[in-house]
Amino acid sequence: MTLLDGKALSQKIELGVHAGVKELKSKTGSVPGLAVILVGQDPASAAYVNMKKKACDRVGFYSVTHEMPEDISQDAIENTIKMMNNNPNIDGILIQLPLPKQIDTTKILELVDPSKDVDGFHPYNVGRLATGLDGFVPCTPLGVMKLLEEYNIDPKGKNCCVVGASNIVGKPMAALLLNANATVEICHIFTDDLKKHTLNADIILVGVGVINLIKEDMVKDGAIIIDIGINRADNGKLVGDVDYENVSTKCSYITPVPGGVGPMTIAMLLSNTLKAAQINYKEKN
């Protein structure tokens, strides 16, 4: 069994992004800019935004976080996004999800300029991904593909079972695998007999937020396991959606939690923001 080390790869990608920032600065005198909207006081969201801020500092980005109260109005967020869309110093805009119930999340995501949509959530970029065209791809599934590539795991022709059908992870993950010529099944909360599907899979990719959802008897020998879930167990320990202790004895490759997919998500955010800045520079010149 080989661990798919997302922490090591993310550090390697960061070095590449840092070099790209230096090159861009030498050409333009400016650096990539990332703006984040954080609404409310959710500790997990705040911690995640803080990690993104530190990563931006490490690679030399300009970054700003717009912290807004839980009871913020739709208009106030929309006005902030419009301001960022028009700000030439901002190359990437990130809306930290989830947003409060009074906010129309779809409308907010659609308001972000697609050329600054470094999270890949705008319908324009979703459509480009679905049709195999270049655009911005959601960071977590993109990070999974980079991790597979780093370990020379080619999804082409493999049976892949994606467990979870969210717009943020499951659907774009399936699209990326399909674009890589894999045979893809998507399972979700209404899937009858999940085990029947996972047992047939060469690669299982799971991200639903259920501790120990994927157990040893659901995995065939030699399967590749990508655990995208992140949960806090009763003892305070961070764990994924896979029964790591027992499943790891059967599989050929597995991502640890933490240290697998998580660091890759932030690395891809940096990579996407650099890409946006480079495109922005080319379009101006």
The full length of the chain comes to 285
* 11 classed as catalytic: no
* 119 classed as catalytic: yes
Sequence-distant (6+) residues with CB within 8 A of 204 are: 160, 161, 163, 198, 214, 219, 223, 224, 225, 226
Sheet with 253-254, edge to edge strand ranges = 2-3, 253-254, 224-227, 203-206, 159-163, 183-187
Given the residues 91, 96, 146, 158, the one annotated as active site: 96
Q: Which one, of 203, 209, 207, 213, lies nearest residue 253 by Cα? A: 203
Q: Which position has the token pair 């027992």?
A: 246
* 52 classed as catalytic: yes
157 burial (CB, 10 Å; 0-12 / 13-18 / 19+) is exposed
∠ CA(227), CA(153), CA(214), 5° rounding?
25
Give me the helices (H) in 138-236, please. Answer: 139-150, 170-179, 194-198
Given the residues 91, 116, 117, 119, the one annotated as active site: 119
Report how far residue 175's alpha carbon sits from residue 131's, in angstroms, rounded to the nearest whole number.
9
What is the dihedral angle through the alpha carbons of 208, 142, 24, 83, rounded to the nearest 10 degrees?
A: -50
Is the bond leading into 258 cis (omega within 30 degrees of zero)? yes
Known catalytic residues are 52, 96, 119
